[in-house]
Amino acid sequence: MAVICIFALSGCAKKKPSAVNSDKIEIEVAVFQGGYGLDFFEKAAREYEKLHPNVKIKVWGNPRIWEQLRTRFVAGDVPDLCWPGWGMDSWALVYDGKVMEMDKYLNQKAYDQNLKWKDTFLPDLLEKGKYRGHYYILPFNNNVFGWWYNVNLFEKHGWKPPKTYEELLKLCEQIKKTGIAPITYQGKYPAYMIRGFLIPWAISAGGLEAFEAAQKLEPGAWKSPAFLKAARMMAELRDKGYFQKGAMGMDHTGAQMEFVLGRAAMIPCGTWLRSEMQKQIPPGFRMAYFNPPVLANGKGDPSITQASAETWIVPKEAKHPDIGADFFRFMTSLKMAKRFVQEKQTLMSIKGSDRVKLPPDLVLPARYLRSAKATWDAEFSDWYKAMNKEIEAAVAALLAGEISPEECCERMERAAEETRNDPSIPKH
């Protein structure tokens, strides 16, 4: 019966398009379809439509959505809300005035808490989207990035996840003796090695300020003693043969396969590891997260943890930016955030959203994140793409044994200097 009514209604609607225009506003939400699919956002849209009967939300997405969004941004024909995905240079959109300034929306009340919307976010993650004093890019779900170890393997041999670099060296020697590769990495994408080795160790050697200085492009920061120490640590692991042979030639799924198949004992990766490898994880396989082992006498606080967010934007030329922003406010309500955490097994950048029964793989990352004195993210990789590429190449060259730690740092510093001296690159 209901179906017939709906048909009847839509039949009427078709006859009188003017009536539709006046009471139904259609908005378009474009979603990057990565490991999380579209279903959550579609369900959220249906719920929002129930609360706001005058709104109709069209959700669409695909795994390479940025390729289509880019041309649409140029043409000025944009969705009302989008998650453009990692392939989109969102900051370029901000610089070119294509992204809505979110300050006025953030000062509204949160959907289901007696707080300003902006106070419901984890502050570190929200601040990342700020440029020249205004908010543009908003965080949604977030990832903690560190190291993972094979629990069964470790238990079988009585190994413990190393807390310090010194322990790591001893452990690697033991693992190597069993014929298993101690550490593997996603060599085709050096971002994993930068986030998993270089920066955590630079922070450990020189404190968070050493990394902040590098991100701010301060002269000499990329070849500071802290970064040199980090590069030397990577070279040491390389020279002692603790990295899996040939890891440089593997992409992320290839290296992660080696890890879940037990051919490598440890791997750097974000909290998305489980969802990415879900179909391939052998029955009984257990893995657990730990923060990258730090120097025993390091300057940086050992609790410092790496967290980054998946980001959403409201395009400035959107036809209904207010509704787009409001739908996002709805999706970041505590209720929806908790639901996303449970359904999609990822953490969210909304305070308190981890107070649910977390999937086992997320318990430790959430604990690290809560007890972290500070968090960091490789934001320079989004701000300064050319410099980032050079740093990736330098790190790849270092791990491939082509250059020394000193040369690696020189090269990173040169790249930073070029970006610093280029007035056409907006600075953060």
Residue 421 CB, nearest distance to another protein (Å)? 11
Residue 247 CB, nearest distance to another protein (Å)? 7
Is 58 an interacting residue with respect to another protein (CB under 8 A)? Answer: no
Is 421 an interacting residue with respect to another protein (CB under 8 A)? Answer: no
Q: Smaller CB distance to another protein: residue 77 or 212? A: 77
Residues 130-159 that bind another protein (CB under 8 A): none
Q: Which residues contact 364 (CB under 8 A, 6 or more apart)?
A: 288, 289, 290
Judged by CB under 8 A, the stretch of 56-64, 139-147, 292-300, 338-346 that binds another protein is: 56-64
Distance from the Cα of residue 130 to its chain's centroid: 16
Query: Shortest CA distance to 273 belongs to which of 386, 384, 196?
Result: 196
Judged by CB under 8 A, the stretch of 66-74, 122-130, 150-158, 344-352 that binds another protein is: 66-74
Interatomic CA distance for residues 335 and 337, integer angstroms: 5
Residue 411 CB, nearest distance to another protein (Å)? 10
Residue 405 CB, nearest distance to another protein (Å)? 15
Is 97 an interacting residue with respect to another protein (CB under 8 A)? Answer: yes
Residue of the chain from 12, 19, 151, 400 that contacts another protein (CB under 8 A): 400
* Site size toward another protein, by CB under 8 A: 60
Residue of the chain from 26, 40, 43, 95 that contacts another protein (CB under 8 A): 95
Judged by CB under 8 A, the stretch of 90-98, 107-115, 130-138, 197-205 that binds another protein is: 90-98
Judged by CB under 8 A, the stretch of 19-27, 163-171, 269-277, 342-350 that binds another protein is: 269-277
Is 263 an interacting residue with respect to another protein (CB under 8 A)? Answer: yes
Tell the burial category of 323 from Cβ atoms under 10 Å away from its Cβ (0-12, 13-18, 19+): buried
Residue of the chain from 218, 397, 407, 420 that contacts another protein (CB under 8 A): 397
Is 276 an interacting residue with respect to another protein (CB under 8 A)? Answer: yes
Is 344 an interacting residue with respect to another protein (CB under 8 A)? Answer: no
Q: Smaller CB distance to another protein: residue 97 or 123? A: 97
Residue 261 CB, nearest distance to another protein (Å)? 6
Residue of the chain from 199, 250, 341, 350 that contacts another protein (CB under 8 A): 250
Is 246 an interacting residue with respect to another protein (CB under 8 A)? Answer: yes
Residue of the chain from 18, 71, 114, 297 that contacts another protein (CB under 8 A): 71
Phi then psi dihedrals of residue 72, to 5 deg = -70, -30
Is 248 an interacting residue with respect to another protein (CB under 8 A)? Answer: yes
Tokens 């849209």 correspond to what residue?
45
Q: Smaller CB distance to another protein: residue 22 or 253? A: 253
Is 424 an interacting residue with respect to another protein (CB under 8 A)? Answer: yes
Contact present, 81 and 318 (Cβ < 8 Å) = yes
Is 160 an interacting residue with respect to another protein (CB under 8 A)? Answer: no
Whether the CA torsion 200, 202, 205, 210 is positive or negative: it is negative
Is 96 an interacting residue with respect to another protein (CB under 8 A)? Answer: yes
Residue of the chain from 46, 389, 406, 427 that contacts another protein (CB under 8 A): 389
Query: Shortest CA distance to 92 belongs to which of 77, 75, 70?
Result: 70
Residue of the chain from 1, 282, 284, 370 that contacts another protein (CB under 8 A): 282
Residues 161-190 that bind another protein (CB under 8 A): 187-190
Is 73 an interacting residue with respect to another protein (CB under 8 A)? Answer: yes
Q: Footprint of another protein on this chain (CB under 8 A)? A: 34-35, 62-64, 67-68, 70-71, 73-77, 87, 89, 92-93, 95-98, 187-190, 244-254, 256-258, 261, 263, 275-280, 282, 385-386, 389, 392-394, 396-397, 400, 402, 424
